Amino acid sequence: MPASSDAGGPADRTQGPPGHGPADRPGIGVTAVRTAGAAGAALRELVGGFRTALLALLVLAGTAVTAVASLAGIGLLMAPVTLRALHALAGRERRRLARHGPEVIGPDPAPTRLRLALVDPTTRRELRWLVRHASLGLLLGLAGALLPVLAVRDVAFPLYWRLLPEGATSTSLGIGVAQTWTDALAAGLLGLGWTAIILGLAPGMARLQARPGRTLLAAGPDTDLSLRVAELTATRAAALDAHATELRRIERSLHDGTQNRIVTVTVLLGAARRMVARDPAGAEELLERAQSAAEQALAELRSVARGILPPVLADRGLAGALTGLAASCPVPCRIDVEAPGRCAASVEATAYFVVAETLTNIAKHSGARQASVTVRSRGGWLLLDVTDDGRGGADEKGGSGLTGIRNRIAAHDGTLELASPPGGPTTLKVELPCGL
């Protein structure tokens, strides 16, 4: 029938399934932004891999020297140091890869004794990774570091080519001399070619550089991961416990402080409203008391808000926030911060609260005359060191807040070390992963 032909006509066949039509496809601008973002992230990963590849080259050279020296017996003394350097570099590479993708769960700690290391599968896998990363990984990282420089140099060449001395090379390849604007624009086109290479190949280069680490540095199929699972379970429980403790603290502050102040304001305003006609002077006094209580409630509310996430961290950074803590501490405190980059907001907040709680403990319990806070950024870790010259004897089980500090740190897979012998000094060392 003629009517039935409309059901399968060309107009219907042009309609695809939902989500595949032209209107559902991302625009050119969105695609360009995504491509540029992926290329930029890949270049950062390649440059980070270039740094560890340089270290891998040094460790590989040390390993070769140790192997040759072992023939004369001297290398047997060098082997433990070389093995510790290898394991430390492998651990650093695992943390670097985790910042750019899925976590690389490592095996149990590898031995540092030469006899055990020779038969240890983890050490052999790390050595294979070392060779690959010090060769292919180094070349890829070098390319990731040089390509943006070459692209900028050649793209901008038409802007400055007339300022160059006569006979100067016009391209980053070291060939050609620009005599005319046509030559200069040709060099600029080469820069666009470098840019196209970055946009098209950088993500694949980053994956190729990371593949040996993800393959060889991860725990093998024969590795027992039960300890790591138990550790992650305990870390999650500590994070949940720290979160619950923080919620209880905020609830107590609001209930015992701010809420009581607001109730007082309400009562005073009601009494003043009833007295305003028969006793204006008394009503004025009640209003003044209500205003004072409202101001106190506002101050307490601001204090609670600062305790949730101090705005000074966003405004002045960790260094400025810690300087403010030191200024308000009753014990004279020296602050020394050397962290050129910013960590994640949660890590900076944890570092801030750790220092705040520690300085509070120092002021209340230590009897110290001075304290110092040192912050360093090293190899993707934020290192805190808080020291005081007090009486010492700090005990984590004594209700001094150290348990809460440990739980906060454990939530980030960080570590805490406390040294507080009787008579002092007391030193608190904290390591937090920050991804710098």
Count CB atoms within 10 A of the CB of residue 214: 16
- Check residues 235 and 99 and name the one with the higher pLDDT: 99
In this structure, the answer to whether residues 206 and 131 fall within a common structural domain is: yes
Q: 209 versus 180: which is more confidently predicted?
A: 209
Phi, psi torsion values for 386, nearest 5 degrees: -115, 125
**425 prior amide bond cis, ω within 30:** yes
Residue partners of 125: CB distance under 8 A and separation at least 6:
216, 217, 220
Same domain, 206 and 246: no
Pick from 323, 343, 341, 342: nearest CA to 333: 323
291 plus 353 within the same structural domain:
no
**Tokens 């550790």 -> residue:** 231
The reply to whether 208 and 67 lie within a common domain is yes
Contact between residue 206 and residue 42 where contact means Cβ atoms under 8 Å apart? yes
| Beta carbons within 8 Å of 60's beta carbon, 6+ residues apart | 130, 131, 134
Alpha carbon distance 137, 52 (integer Å): 9
Q: Does some domain include residue 7?
A: no
Domain boundary among 275, 308, 341: 308
Would you say residue 3 lies in a domain? no
Asked whether residue 204 falls in the same domain as residue 257, the answer is no
96 and 59 in one domain? yes
Cβ-based neighbour number of residue 253 at 10 Å: 16
Q: What is the mean pLDDT of residues 75-98?
A: 86
Would you say residue 278 lies in a domain?
A: yes
Residues linked to residue 415 through DSSP beta bridges, in sequence order: 431
| pTM, to two decimals | 0.49
Which residues lie across from 417 on neighbouring strands? 429
Instruction: Determine the pLDDT at residue 117.
Output: 77
Please give the tally of structural domains in the chain. 3
What is the C-alpha separation between 146 and 139, in angstroms, rounded? Answer: 10
Same domain, 296 and 321: no
For residue 357, what are the domain limits?
316-433
Say which residues have a Cβ less than 8 Å from residue 255's Cβ, sequence separation at least 6.
none
What pLDDT is recorded for position 15? Answer: 44
Beta-bridge partner residues of 416: 430
pLDDT of residue 141: 93
* Domain assignment of residue 230, yes or no: no
Assigned domain for 19 exists: no
State the Cα–Cα distance between residues 239 and 244, nearest whole angstrom.
9
Tokens of residue 425, six digits: 């000094």
Which amino acid type is present at position 306?
Answer: R
Query: What is the DSSP code (8-state) at residue 4?
Result: G
| Residue 110 main-chain phi, psi, to 5 deg | -80, 155
Whether 18 is in a domain gets the answer no
Same domain, 104 and 241: no
Same domain, 170 and 280: no
Q: Which residue has the tokens 């102040």?
A: 261
Write the CATH number for 411: 3.30.565.10
Q: Is the dihedral of CA 397, 402, 405, 409 positive or negative?
A: negative
Helix locations, 335-379, DSSP H? 345-361
Q: What is the mean pLDDT of residues 311-337?
A: 82
Q: Which of 163, 181, 216 is the last residue of a domain?
A: 216
pLDDT category at 236 given cuts 50, 70, 90 is: low
pLDDT tens digits, one per residue of 4-43 = 434 344 344 344 444 444 444 456 777 788 888 888 889 9
- The pLDDT tens digits for 146-193 are 999 989 888 888 887 777 767 666 667 777 677 778 878 888 888 888
Whether 296 is covered by a domain: the verdict is yes
Which percentage of the chain shows pLDDT scores above 90? 14
Task: Tell me which amino acid residue 429 is.
Answer: K
* Nearest by Cα to 412 from 371, 384, 373: 384
Name the domain boundary from 257, 284, 308.
308
Mind spelling out the 3-state secondary structure of 298-331?
Answer: HHHHHHHHHHHCCHHHHHHHHHHHHHHHHHHCCC
The structure tokens listed for 277 are 């006609």
Angle between the N-to-C axes of helices 28-70 and 75-99, in degrees from 0 to 180, rounded to the nearest 10: 170
pLDDT digit string (tens) for 266-303? Answer: 887 888 788 877 778 877 887 888 888 888 878 777 66
pLDDT confidence tier of residue 208, bands split at 50, 70 and 90: very high
pLDDT of 217: 87
Domain shared by 327 and 295, yes or no: no
In whole angstroms, what is the distance from residue 408 CA to residue 137 CA?
36
CA distance 148 to 143: 9
* 393 and 262 belong to one structural domain: no
100: phi then psi, degrees, rounded to nearest 5: -115, 10
Q: Closest Cα partner for 412 from 232, 245, 246? A: 232
Whole-number Å distance between alpha carbons of 327 and 45: 39
113 and 256 co-located in one domain:
no
214: nearest Cα among 145, 315, 135, 129: 129
| Cβ–Cβ < 8 Å for 96, 136 | no
SS (H, E, C) 102-166: CCCCCCCCCCCCHHHHHCCHHHHHHHHHHHHHHHHHHHHHHHHHHHHHHHHHHHCHHHHHHHCCC
How high is the mean pLDDT of the chain? 78
Q: Which residue has the higher pLDDT, 308 or 38?
A: 38
